[in-house]
Structure 1
Amino acid sequence: MTVQEVDRKRFAEEWEVWHRERDTALADPHGFLAITSLRWLTPEPTRFDDAPGAWSSTPDGVVVDLADGESFTVEGREVRGRHAFAPLAERGGTLATWGDIVLEIARRGGNDILRPRDPANPLRTHFTRTPAYAPDPRWVVTGRYVPFAEPRRVTVGAVVEGLEHVYDAPGQVEFALEGATHRLTVFNGGRPGSLTALFTDATSGRTTYAANRSLAIAPPEGDGLVTLDFNRAVNLPCAYTDLATCPLPPAEKRLPVAVEAGERLPLERAAAA
Structure 2
Amino acid sequence: MTTIESSLQQEWDAWHREREEQLSTPHGWLSLTALHWLDDTARGYDGIPGTWRATGDGGVELTADGDPEIGPAIEGTPVSGTVRLEPVDGQPGVLVEIGDRRVEVIRRTDTYALRVRDPEAITRTAFTGAPAFPVDERWVVDGRFEPYPEPKQLTVGAVVDGLQHFPTAVGVVRFELDGAEHELVAFPGKAGGLSLHFRDATSGDSTYGGGRQVALPDPDADGRVRIDLNRTVNLPCAFTAHATCPLPPAENRLPVAVEAGERIPPRPDLQQA
Normalised to the residue count of structure 1, the TM-score between the two structures is: 0.93
Whole-angstrom distance in 1 between the partners of 2:47 and 2:254: 41
Other-structure match for 1:218:
217
Other-structure match for 1:74:
74
Count how many residue pairs are aligned between Structure 1 and Structure 2.
Answer: 267
Are 2:26 and 1:37 equivalent residues in the alignment?
no
| C-alpha contact 1:202 1:256 (8 A) present in aligned 2 | yes
Give the letter aligned to residue 228 of structure 1. I
Whole-angstrom distance in 1 between the partners of 2:82 and 2:71: 10
Greater Cα offset, 90-99 or 152-161: 90-99
Whole-angstrom distance in 1 between the partners of 2:118 and 2:229: 32
Whole-angstrom distance in 2 between the partners of 1:233 and 1:268: 19
Whole-angstrom distance in 2 between the partners of 1:148 and 1:123: 40
1:9-47 superposed Cα distances (whole Å, 9 cap, x missing partner):
121011011111111111111111111101111100111
Q: Classify 1:270/1:68 alpha carbon distance in 2 versus 1 (closer, same or farther; 3 Å).
A: closer
1:181-225 superposed Cα distances (whole Å, 9 cap, x missing partner):
111001111123x11111010111111111110110111100000
| C-alpha contact 1:143 1:176 (8 A) present in aligned 2 | yes
Aligned residue runs from structure 1 range 126-145, under 5 A: 126-145=126-145
User: Any gaps of 5 or more consecutive residues in structure 2?
Assistant: none
Identity %, equivalent residues: 45
Are 2:161 and 1:164 equivalent residues in the alignment?
no
Whole-angstrom distance in 1 between the partners of 2:111 and 2:14: 37
Q: Classify 1:270/1:95 alpha carbon distance in 2 versus 1 (closer, same or farther; 3 Å).
A: closer
Whole-angstrom distance in 2 between the partners of 1:143 and 1:270: 39
Are 2:6 and 1:14 equivalent residues in the alignment?
no
The alpha carbon displacement at 1:65 in A equals 1.1
Greater Cα offset, 225-234 or 10-19: 10-19
**Helix, strand or coil at the partner of 2:170:** strand
1:92-144 superposed Cα distances (whole Å, 9 cap, x missing partner):
32112111001111112321111111111111111111110111111000000
Aligned residue runs from structure 1 range 1-273, under 5 A: 5-58=2-55, 59-67=57-65, 69=67, 71-85=71-85, 87-92=86-91, 93-192=93-192, 194-268=193-267
The alpha carbon displacement at 1:271 in A equals 7.3
| C-alpha contact 1:71 1:80 (8 A) present in aligned 2 | no
1:44-95 superposed Cα distances (whole Å, 9 cap, x missing partner):
011111311110001151101114635322123222221211x222113211
**Helix, strand or coil at the partner of 1:66:** strand
Q: Classify 1:271/1:121 alpha carbon distance in 2 versus 1 (closer, same or farther; 3 Å).
A: closer
User: Any gaps of 5 or more consecutive residues in structure 1?
Assistant: none
Whole-angstrom distance in 1 between the partners of 2:74 and 2:51: 17
Whole-angstrom distance in 2 between the partners of 1:239 and 1:257: 21
The alpha carbon displacement at 1:269 in A equals 7.8
Give the letter aligned to residue 14 of structure 1. E
**Helix, strand or coil at the partner of 1:115:** strand
Whole-angstrom distance in 2 between the partners of 1:242 and 1:49: 17
